Every structure is written in C-alpha cells, then in structure tokens.
Amino acid sequence: MELGACPKSMRYGPCGGVRTGGGCEVVDEPCPFVGRPLVEWAGTELAPRAIELPRFLVDHRPTGDDRVDRQVLDDYAASGVAVLLGDHLDDPPAVDRVAAAERTVDAGVPTIATITGRDRSTDERAEMIDGLLAAGVAAVLCVTGDHPSARFTAHPDVTFVSEGTLLAGEVRSRGGRVAVAESPAAEPTRQRAARLVEKQRAGADIAVLNHSGPVADVIAFAEQASALGCRLPMYAPVPVMTDLASMAALEQFPGLTIADDAVNAMHTSSDPFSTGLDLAVAMAGELLGSGSIAGVNLSGVATSGGAVERGRVMRRVVDAVTA
Ligand code: SF4
C-alpha cells in the first residue's frame, strides 16, 4: 500500500492500530508507515504549556441517562479524579459530546474531552472544539480515531479529514490545551517515543498512553520518550477489568497490549472481580511510585455491570491506591 492509500488518509502516521507484524488495522495489507523513517512535524514548533490535573484520569462513558450519569459524576467529583471523555464509535447515539463535557465540568470534575478526525468537516471540528473549550474542559485529546472496519463490519464510507497530530495544532490555534495519545506497543515500536516528541512539537501539552503491556514496558517507554526530549506529563494506562467481558472489550482494539500475566490471571481466577481489582490497584500503585509518569489513566469498561457499577469499580481502585 502507498502512503496516500492509508484508509485514514494519514500524513503523520502510523495510527495506533497497526497490527502485530506491521499490518494495517483496516485492510489486509502492510501499513505503509512501518519500515519508513519517522514522519517529522513540518509546521511551526510549539512548546508544551503547564496543565494542572489530578493524578487519576478515569475513562468516563456517558450513558445519555442524566440521572445515572450525574450519580457517577458526583462520586468522581468526591474522589477528586479527572475524567477522560471518549469519542467512541459505539457510544450511545443520544450522547451529545459537547453537552456531555458541560455536564462533567459542571459536576466539578476536571475533564479531558476527545476529538477524532473521523467524519467531521473543518467547520464541524471547529464548532466542536469551540464548544468543548466553552464548556471549560482542561484539555482536548486529539486522536485520529478508530476505523469502524477494524472492529465492526466493513465500513468503506467513513472519511478521515484530520488526524491526531494535525488536530493538536487545530485545538491549540483555537486556544485550548492539547492532549495527545500514543500507542507504545503498536508497530513500529522503535519509533513510538520519537513520534510522541513530534506531537509535542505540533502543540501537545500532555500525553495519554495506550495500553502497552506490563509496568516495566510502560515505564521504559516513558523514560525513552523523556530521553528523546519529551516534556509532556504522561498518563500511563491501567486496564480496569473485573470480568472476562470487560477484558475482551479492551482486547478487541488492534495495537493495544494487556500484560500476559494479567490476562492469564483473569482467565484462571475463580474470582475475576477481585483479581481484576487487585491487578489494577497493583499496576496503578507501581506506575505512580515509579517517578516516570505524571498520573494514571484508569481505562476500560471495567465491568459488564453497567455505568453505576463501573463508576464504583473505578473509585475502588482509586481508594485502594490512595489508602
Ligand atoms: S495501520 Fe493505520 S496508519 Fe497504517 S495504513 Fe492502516 S489505517 Fe493507515
């Protein structure tokens, strides 16, 4: 495949979904960015700015049910965590992303809200960015976004008009703080730390890392990025899964790695709830104690027990780590 044929039309690729072996996440062909030199940021170089956030960043998926969402958010506010609002393909259609950000901010929860380059025109992106900033989000997480064909049935009609690195500049030019993502375990793994530095040059202020295996691998990535000049506070991923369904929900994403030990422990446990909770608490504690990262991102659907139970699981992890 030629670079111009990337199904996400990426210029600053590769995306985080490159499969093991270097295959594209969308089509059964090699990703053209793998095996080539790093694509360097070609625009004006910007320096990261300070950003104040709690050490715990929790994935939050609004349900569209205001009563349920408010209950979860009130508990997060009491726990003192920040939330990461996604821009997922399978979010409930009733969820308006700007309105969801307004609710999290109004609940007193520092918020990072995600924007993808998927299926949004230039005007639509600008409108969404302005709406999120007016809502008072702490930062906008700029990602290219999943391709629906990677997780669902073939979906040739989706268009990617922007991508994570370019969105960083778009958000910054509209006055927002910028969060970017990186997937340390996705090929080409040797370029991923340098790629994060290029996103810093494009305007990023903070980084949220994708699941990339055991603690040692996450810390090694953070230290490599720092050695290459990355000055972004990094939020390290902690998979939160308390049943096999919530683990499977995480494992479906290409380019993402959960530590083998954790996967095996979940499969063989007679009490997956306690096992998953213990794994998340141990990993978060180790990462926060490492001195190499700014905070942890408690990530995943956590449970198949619904939104309220999910919030309860997330808070139990926070409470256990901070006890
Ligand atoms: S893996 Fe991602 S970056 Fe590479 S060709 Fe496929 S969609 Fe594009």
For residue 153, the model assigns a pLDDT of 62
What is the 278 CA–ligand 1 centroid distance (Å)? 35
The residue nearest atom 8 of ligand 1, judged by CA position, is: 6
Mutate to test the pocket of ligand 1, among 9, 11, 25, 143 (most ligand atoms within 8 A of CB): 25
What's at 161, amino acid-wise?
V
Exposure string over 20-38, b if 16+ CB within 10 A, otherwise e? eebbbbbbeebbbbbeeee
CB 302 within 8 A of CB 240: yes
What is the 316 CA–ligand 1 centroid distance (Å)? 37
CB 79 within 8 A of CB 315: yes
For residue 144, the model assigns a pLDDT of 96
Q: Are strands 139-143 and 178-182 parallel, antiparallel or unpaired?
A: parallel
- Virtual CA dihedral for 52, 240, 318, 106, nearest 10 degrees? 50
Least Cα distance to 303 among 323, 274, 281 occurs for 274
How far apart are alpha carbons 267 and 243 in whole angstroms?
9
How far apart are alpha carbons 234 and 195 in whole angstroms?
14
Nearest atom in ligand 1 to the alpha carbon of residue 254 is: 1
Q: Say if residue 4 is exposed, middle or buried (CB neighbours under 10 Å; 0-12, 13-18, 19+).
A: exposed
Nearest atom in ligand 1 to the alpha carbon of residue 13 is: 3
What is the 233 CA–ligand 1 centroid distance (Å)? 27
CB 39 within 8 A of CB 55: no
What is the 162 CA–ligand 1 centroid distance (Å)? 14
Helix-helix angle 260-268:272-289, to 10 degrees: 160
The residue nearest atom 6 of ligand 1, judged by CA position, is: 24
For residue 91, the model assigns a pLDDT of 79
How far apart are alpha carbons 238 and 214 in whole angstroms?
10
And the tokens for 208?
């949220």
Phi, psi of 319 (to 5 degrees): -60, -40
What is the 266 CA–ligand 1 centroid distance (Å)? 31
The residue nearest atom 4 of ligand 1, judged by CA position, is: 31
What is the 253 CA–ligand 1 centroid distance (Å)? 14
Which letter does DSSP use for residue 152 in this model? Answer: S
CB 276 within 8 A of CB 240: yes
pLDDT per 10-residue tile (average), the chain, 323 residues:
86 94 93 96 96 96 91 95 91 84 97 95 96 98 89 70 96 98 96 98 98 96 98 98 95 89 97 98 98 97 94 97 94
The residue nearest atom 3 of ligand 1, judged by CA position, is: 14
Least Cα distance to 106 among 98, 115, 114 occurs for 98
How far apart are alpha carbons 247 and 264 in whole angstroms?
11
For residue 272, the model assigns a pLDDT of 97
The residue nearest atom 2 of ligand 1, judged by CA position, is: 15
Domains of the chain: 54-322 (3.20.20.220)
For residue 83, the model assigns a pLDDT of 98
For residue 288, the model assigns a pLDDT of 98
How far apart are alpha carbons 237 and 21 in whole angstroms?
23
How far apart are alpha carbons 183 and 290 in whole angstroms?
20
Q: Which residues line ligand 1 (CB under 6 A)?
A: 6-8, 10, 13-15, 17-18, 24-26, 31-33, 147
Cis before 32 (ω within 30): no
For residue 1, the model assigns a pLDDT of 77
